[in-house]
Chains A and B, each alone.
Chain A
Amino acid sequence: MNLSESFLSALDTLAAHKLRSALTMLGVIIGVAAVIALMAIGNGVQSSITDEITSVGSNLIVVSPDMEHSGGYPPLSLADVEALADPLNAPAVSSVAASVAGNREVTAGGNSVTTSVSGVTANYFEVVNLGEFQAGDGLTQADVDTKARVVVLGASVASELFDGENPVGRMVKIDGASYEVVGVLAEQGQTLAGNPDENVYAPITTAQARLYADRTRTGKHAVSSITAQARSETEADAAIEQIEATLREAHGLTGDDESDFSTFSQTALLETVNTITATLTAFLGAIAGISLLVGGIGIMNIMLVSVTERTREIGVRKAIGALRRDILGQFLLESILMSAIGGLAGIALGWLLAQAFSLALDATAVVDAQTVLMATGFAAAVGLVFGLYPAWRASKLRPIEALRYE
């Protein structure tokens, strides 16, 4: 039996019952489209989260206070930053930045905005990858050393306070004191670490002296977080160990003492997020897969009906010499064809859904070849598996009984 002829004849049979075939295919179409769209959306979300994390800068390790184990005092200070910056203590660390953060009202002329005001070290912008300025420049080490009253504005804050005019050289007021604007950051967009566009940055020493009076147990000015950069991604784990050892020693912690800080690396975050989103994507895919399974059961159902309806035809075919495999192949081809056509239509529909999602949510849904191949393969397998039993039933029919069937 010639394959292309069988193919055409199967198409013919499906075309003879257009509505029925279409409805049967709909089950597969919806299933495949759901798999494609959900996987694409999942992948899209994952890649946009990954992009955001890596845009903050790779190899970053964030040290945060653990207030539960610090006896109520903020544990971190600039002394810790100095300790970590010493290559003898942490050779895997290339640079260390620190910040102290809080909310303050910032005014300029008639405008005022209450926003996050951070005190940062001079290298902060570089370390957390905010090193682009639309006007002016960042903070200098001299600014930090002299507790200079200068600020760098985030893009949104700058336009709100100065109505689009260039703020560099102008003054803003925070808690009654005047600060000179020395730079404006380029627009960054939302990141996992917050929104730099909404931030005001002052030298960390200035902020500690004038805005945030928190002190550690030993009376040093506190910092809210320390951000260290590992020399390379491969050294990130070593850097974490060195940071922990250095800080524990600096804080006088020994043996089983709980650390009064916690470390979190960019790679660890990335891994965690990837694990979560991958699980979520797989979960969504599995749910969509169930609908594909239901579509397959629909195919089996309709093929069983079809076998019953065409009992006489099967009888005639057998009487004139059809072998079991001829009948088996004929019915199997019909069900595979239905699921394959449904699969193709489902891919198209799923792609459209993914594009619609991309437009609606301003994320990029990624329809990757792997998903398409998987969905196609799954759809064809559904046709094969669920078509097998009806086709087998058809091939087993005895011609005399089939011919007698009314």
Chain B
Amino acid sequence: MIELKGVTKEYAMGTQTVHALRGVDLTIADGEFVAIMGPSGSGKSTLMNMIGCLDLPTAGTYHLDGVDVSDMSDDEQARVRNKHVGFVFQQFNLLARTPALKQVALPLMYAGVGRKERTERAAAALASVGLADRMDHRPDELSGGQQQRVAIARALATEPSIILADEPTGALDTQSGEEIMGIFETLNTQGKTVILVTHDPDVAARAHRIIRVRDGRVQQPAAEQRQERHESE
């Protein structure tokens, strides 16, 4: 359960103060499949960072599964991310020269899981995204779609409740993108909360709810969203 109340984010850029978020109230229930959309500079990236515990709000509160995470230290945030959030990035962000199995085991290593259990769980995660036969492959030996699947397996390794994907199909061809979307849908039916950040209306349309961000504010309700999307795209 993600609950943001009156979240604002300001940061200084040169002499100016940028208001990235201006009082966001947002609730995402467990098991939801949502898409966050919005033009560049709308604050959607800041919102994503906030939800992913990569950033802290200037004001307002953020409760993740009932725990206040709005005022945490770097390391506390890192532990929350490790346990609750799986990240999938547009550019995959795999470690160079590292075999798939090790990539996927990395979050488990940071979680302090022993080597044997870690390897087993990483292998299971890779198998669940259809890469059981690619465990020893390095990123440069894998296609874009396969790399993104390794990234998803890595996001799943610690069995977080939330998958946060930032333009996950942005760097992929249509077919690979379709496969990746299929994986997200499967994960959602298995009960994961899936949050996509995207520009692509077709990708966003696969979600069950679209959250539109503009000028640092979340626009609701859903009825207006659909209409606005048709106007702007």
> Hey, which bits of chain A sit against chain B, CB under 8 A?
1-2, 5, 12, 16, 312-313, 315-324, 326, 398-400, 403
Contact of B93 among A312, A321, A324, A400 (CB under 8 A): A312
- The secondary-structure label for the interface of chain A is helix
22 examples of A-B residue contacts, CB within 8 angstroms: A1-B110, A16-B96, A16-B97, A316-B89, A316-B93, A316-B94, A316-B95, A317-B95, A317-B106, A319-B52, A320-B82, A320-B106, A320-B107, A320-B155, A321-B82, A321-B110, A322-B78, A322-B110, A323-B79, A399-B54, A400-B49, A403-B89
Report if B226 contacts A (CB, 8 A).
no
Q: Once the chains bind, are B95 and A321 in contact (CB under 8 Å)?
A: no
Contact of A324 among B74, B96, B111 (CB under 8 A): B74
Report the separation of the CA atoms of residues A315 and B106 in the bound assembly, to the nearest whole angstrom: 13
For residue B49, which residues in chain A have a CB less than 8 angstroms away from its CB?
400
For residue B149, which residues in chain A have a CB less than 8 angstroms away from its CB?
none
For residue A321, which residues in chain B have a CB less than 8 angstroms away from its CB?
78-79, 81-83, 107, 110-111, 158
Contact of B55 among A12, A317, A323, A400 (CB under 8 A): A400
Report if B109 contacts A (CB, 8 A).
yes
Q: Once the chains bind, are B154 and A400 in contact (CB under 8 Å)?
A: no
Q: Once the chains bind, are A403 and B93 in contact (CB under 8 Å)?
A: yes
**Min CB gap B34→A, angstroms:** 20
For residue A322, which residues in chain B have a CB less than 8 angstroms away from its CB?
78, 110
Contact of A323 among B54, B75, B95 (CB under 8 A): B75
Kindly list 18 other residue pairs between chains A and B, CB separation below 8 angstroms, not including A316-B94, A319-B54, A321-B83. Answer: A1-B109, A1-B110, A5-B115, A12-B97, A16-B97, A316-B93, A317-B95, A319-B87, A319-B93, A320-B82, A320-B106, A320-B155, A323-B75, A323-B110, A324-B74, A324-B75, A324-B78, A400-B55
Contact of B115 among A2, A318, A320, A400 (CB under 8 A): A2
For residue B94, which residues in chain A have a CB less than 8 angstroms away from its CB?
316
For residue B155, which residues in chain A have a CB less than 8 angstroms away from its CB?
320
Cβ < 8 Å to A, chain B residues 52-68: 52, 54-55
**Min CB gap A329→B, angstroms:** 12
For residue B109, which residues in chain A have a CB less than 8 angstroms away from its CB?
1-2, 5
Cβ < 8 Å to A, chain B residues 61-118: 74-75, 78-79, 81-83, 87, 89, 93-97, 106-107, 109-111, 115
For residue B87, which residues in chain A have a CB less than 8 angstroms away from its CB?
319-320
Per CB-CB distance, the 5 closest pairs between chain A and chain B, nearest first, are A321-B82, A321-B110, A320-B107, A316-B93, A323-B75
For residue A312, which residues in chain B have a CB less than 8 angstroms away from its CB?
93
**Min CB gap B45→A, angstroms:** 9
Cβ < 8 Å to A, chain B residues 106-161: 106-107, 109-111, 115, 154-155, 158
For residue B74, which residues in chain A have a CB less than 8 angstroms away from its CB?
324, 398
Chain A, residue nearest B106 (CB): A320
> Quick one: which of B49, B54, B94 has the most chain A CB within 10 A?
B54
Report the separation of the CA atoms of residues A319 and B107 in the bound assembly, to the nearest whole angstrom: 9
**Min CB gap A210→B, angstroms:** 90
Report the separation of the CA atoms of residues A380 and B83 in the bound assembly, to the nearest whole angstrom: 36
For residue A398, which residues in chain B have a CB less than 8 angstroms away from its CB?
74
Report the separation of the CA atoms of residues A12 and B115 in the bound assembly, to the nearest whole angstrom: 18
> Quick one: which of A312, A319, A323 has the most chain B CB within 10 A?
A319
**Min CB gap A381→B, angstroms:** 28
Contact of B81 among A1, A2, A319, A324 (CB under 8 A): A319
**Min CB gap B84→A, angstroms:** 10
Contact with A along B149-181 (1 / 0, CB 8 A): 000001100100000000000000000000000
Report the separation of the CA atoms of residues A324 and B75 in the bound assembly, to the nearest whole angstrom: 7
For residue B106, which residues in chain A have a CB less than 8 angstroms away from its CB?
317, 320
Report the separation of the CA atoms of residues A317 and B98 in the bound assembly, to the nearest whole angstrom: 13
**Min CB gap A116→B, angstroms:** 74
Chain B, residue nearest A397 (CB): B74
**Min CB gap B120→A, angstroms:** 16
Q: Once the chains bind, are A323 and B78 in contact (CB under 8 Å)?
A: yes
Report the separation of the CA atoms of residues A135 and B224 in the bound assembly, to the nearest whole angstrom: 122
Report the separation of the CA atoms of residues A303 and B94 in the bound assembly, to the nearest whole angstrom: 21
For residue A5, which residues in chain B have a CB less than 8 angstroms away from its CB?
109, 115
Chain A, residue nearest B95 (CB): A313
> Quick one: which of A2, A5, A16, A399 has the most chain B CB within 10 A?
A399
Chain B, residue nearest A396 (CB): B74
For residue A399, which residues in chain B have a CB less than 8 angstroms away from its CB?
54
Report the separation of the CA atoms of residues A403 and B151 in the bound assembly, to the nearest whole angstrom: 15
Chain A, residue nearest B77 (CB): A399
Q: Once the chains bind, are B97 and A400 in contact (CB under 8 Å)?
A: no
**Min CB gap A156→B, angstroms:** 69
For residue A1, which residues in chain B have a CB less than 8 angstroms away from its CB?
109-110
Q: Once the chains bind, are B89 and A320 in contact (CB under 8 Å)?
A: no
